[in-house]
Amino acid sequence: MDLEDGHGKIGMKRKWNWPIWVGFVLALSGLFSYGFFVRYPITRDFPWTNLLLFGAGIALLFLGLFRAFGRPQVYRGKIFGSIFTAIALFLISLFSYEIFYVLRQVPASSGAPRVGQLAPDFFLLDQSGKPVGLGDLLSGPSGAKPVVVIFYRGFW
């Protein structure tokens, strides 16, 4: 009878430490699901779904590590659990750096027209090569009307 644990001799197969695997998969899915969640403003403006997946993944990874280091006779995963956790933390840092720093590097545009100022006039070609001015847009077929002007980065 082994004194170390109730599961047999040392060296016998230890238990599968599932929180490490599930946690790692959750953390990865937090990263790779961004391509899906980015399509909807409610999950794009603030990426809470991705952060939620990261959070759940990290919680499970730490639970797995806690088991692996706390009861190494019973649970596997001291080494690969640490590696998986390090990879997950690295990916989360990369994601956060991109979302909360890189994508926020937009010019302040202090000279952009403010409320009450005249919008600078423009005269540009539309998608069929026809020149269109701001004045044309404001004077629609049914009298003068407001216009929504959107500036976007483009698709190149």
The contact set with another protein (CB under 8 A) reads 38, 41, 44-45, 99, 103-104, 106-122, 124-129, 132, 134-135, 137-138, 140, 142-156
Alpha-carbon dihedral sign for residues 125, 128, 132, 138: negative
Q: How far apart are CA 28 and CA 87, in angstroms?
A: 9
Least Å from the CB of residue 28 to another protein: 21
Q: How far, in Å, CA of 84 to CA of 57, rounded?
A: 11
Rounded least distance, CB 90 to another protein, Å: 22
Beta-carbon contacts of 102 under 8 Å, excluding residues fewer than 6 positions away, are none
Closer to another protein by CB, 13 or 101: give it. 101
* CB of 3 or CB of 125, closer to another protein: 125
Pick between residue 8 and residue 135 the one whose CB is nearest to another protein: 135
